[in-house]
Amino acid sequence: MLKKVFTGKVFLYFILFLVVLSIFLSSYFDKDNMLKMQAISSIDEKMCQEIEHDFIKESCLKSVLKQKERFDICVKKGGDCSRFY
């Protein structure tokens, strides 16, 4: 009986720890994620260079390059490219 109560408390504290950790990490990476979103929406590689964390920076550069390719294809086809701004 005591073992079940103990494992239940350990499980509860572990879940609480994970919740606190996820809140901390989301606020820690918030600035970089906002820069990434702005860089992608404005198709600006220079904004990606301001990002501190390398894995977010690499993801930003890939996304911006992909967005540039889509914009170039849209311009070549003569379509409405206003969604890229």
Please state at what angle helix 54-77 crosses helix 30-42, rounded to 10 degrees.
20
Domain residue limits, the chain: 2-84
* pLDDT tens for each residue of 14-71: 999 999 999 998 888 899 999 999 999 888 899 999 999 999 999 999 999 999 999 9
C-beta of residue 48 within 8 angstroms of C-beta of residue 36: yes
What local confidence, expressed as pLDDT, does residue 55 receive? Answer: 93
* CB neighbour list of residue 32: distance below 8 Å, 6 or more residues apart: 51, 52, 53, 56, 57
pTM for this model (two decimals): 0.68
Q: State yes or no: pLDDT of 2 exceeds 60.
A: no
Please tell me whether residue 30 adopts helix, strand or coil conformation.
Answer: helix
